[in-house]
């Protein structure tokens, strides 16, 4: 494959299927040998833009209230989702996550995209792990500064950004762009600006979508040569 395949996707760091989906996508890319041919561009989508800056209570209780199910049913669903994550090799502690406002976490990604794009992928994974594995509050500035330092971002620059309103409007614009595409939940993947993969997709599903896009791109290339000659 000579051309670069662009994948844009909307996600939120408190969304378990986003973490699982992104992991499955990367496995699919690797399994097909496309690692050097694919660029990933994460976009912001907050599940709850009005969420508070401090944790609003145990996940199981919040889950039951949100989906209007019993406390026991909530526990069963949480464990089912956590097990899906563990099957992907993730340290998944969903039951003890601390849900907060994720605006600053998304702003941190936007800053990295603008100033240190090579760190974005690692930063994205580290933020997910901080929430689901280490159960950190992603609205906590110290947590974000520790993460920034861990991946190689300048802590002073990150602190200054968090003191400002930088990237807030960009986060909102990315969310608005998602709504205009008809997105009402995440994860939402747009492969090559043409193929949509939404929700809890399997690795095999991602592989089929990627193969479809690669085949389409190959058929659009000119000057290809094979055993019987070259075509234009």
pLDDT digits (tens, 9 = 90+) for 103-153: 999 999 999 999 999 999 999 999 999 999 999 999 999 999 999 999 999
- Range of 93's domain? 5-218
Report the b/e string of 166-176 with b at 16+ CB within 10 A.
ebeebbeebbe
Give the whole-angstrom CA distance, residue 64 versus residue 41.
33
Q: Give residue 218's pLDDT band: very low, low, confident or very high (50, 70, 90).
A: confident
**pLDDT tens sequence across 170-199:** 999 999 999 999 998 999 999 998 999 999
Domain assignment of residue 231, yes or no: no
Domain assignment of residue 90, yes or no: yes
pLDDT over 80 at 229, yes or no? no
Domain assignment of residue 229, yes or no: no
Query: According to DSSP H, which parts of the chain are helical?
Result: 16-31, 59-67, 71-87, 103-115, 120-132, 141-151, 155-163, 168-180, 203-220
β-bridge partners, 196: 190
**CB-CB contact of 102 with 139 (8 Å):** yes
Nearest to 100 by CA among 152, 47, 146: 47
Domain assignment of residue 226, yes or no: no
Domain assignment of residue 171, yes or no: yes
Domain assignment of residue 214, yes or no: yes
β-bridge partners, 142: none
DSSP H or E run through 189:
strand 188-191
Domain assignment of residue 18, yes or no: yes
Domain assignment of residue 225, yes or no: no
pLDDT over 60 at 1, yes or no? no
Q: Give residue 228's pLDDT band: very low, low, confident or very high (50, 70, 90).
A: very low
**CB-CB contact of 129 with 91 (8 Å):** yes
Report the predicted TM-score, pTM, of the whole model to 2 decimal places.
Answer: 0.91
How many domains, in total, are found in the chain? 1
**CB-CB contact of 183 with 10 (8 Å):** yes
**CB-CB contact of 97 with 59 (8 Å):** yes
φ, ψ of residue 134 to 5 degrees: the values are -95, -10
Look at residue 37 and give its three-state secondary structure.
Answer: helix
pLDDT score at 16: 97
C-alpha distances (whole Å) from 131 to each of 83, 97, 115, 168 are: 16, 6, 24, 21
pLDDT over 90 at 29, yes or no? yes
Residue 103, domain CATH:
3.40.30.10
């Amino acid at each position: 494959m000579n051309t670069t395949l662009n994948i844009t996707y909307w996600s939120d760091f408190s969304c378990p299927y986003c973490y699982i989906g992104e992991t499955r996508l990367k496995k699919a890319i690797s399994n097909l040998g496309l690692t050097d041919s694919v660029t990933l561009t994460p976009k912001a989508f907050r599940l709850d833009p009005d969420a508070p800056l401090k944790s609003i209570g145990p996940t199981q209780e919040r889950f039951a209230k949100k989906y209007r199910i019993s406390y026991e049913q909530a526990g069963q669903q949480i464990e089912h989702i956590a097990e899906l994550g563990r099957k992907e090799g993730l340290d998944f502690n969903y039951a003890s996550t601390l849900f907060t406002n994720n605006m600053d976490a998304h702003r941190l990604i936007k800053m990295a995209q603008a100033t240190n794009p090579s760190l974005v992928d690692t930063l994205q994974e580290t933020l997910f792990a901080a929430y689901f594995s280490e159960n950190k509050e992603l609205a906590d500035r110290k947590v974000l500064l520790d993460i920034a330092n861990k991946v190689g971002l300048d802590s002073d620059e990150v602190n200054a950004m968090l003191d400002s309103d930088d990237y807030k409007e960009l986060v909102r614009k990315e969310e608005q762009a998602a709504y205009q595409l008809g997105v009402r939940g995440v994860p939402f993947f747009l492969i090559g600006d043409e193929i949509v993969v939404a929700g809890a997709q399997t690795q095999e599903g991602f592989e089929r979508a990627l193969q479809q896009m690669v085949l389409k791109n190959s058929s659009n290339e000119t000057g290809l040569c094979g055993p019987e000659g070259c075509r234009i």
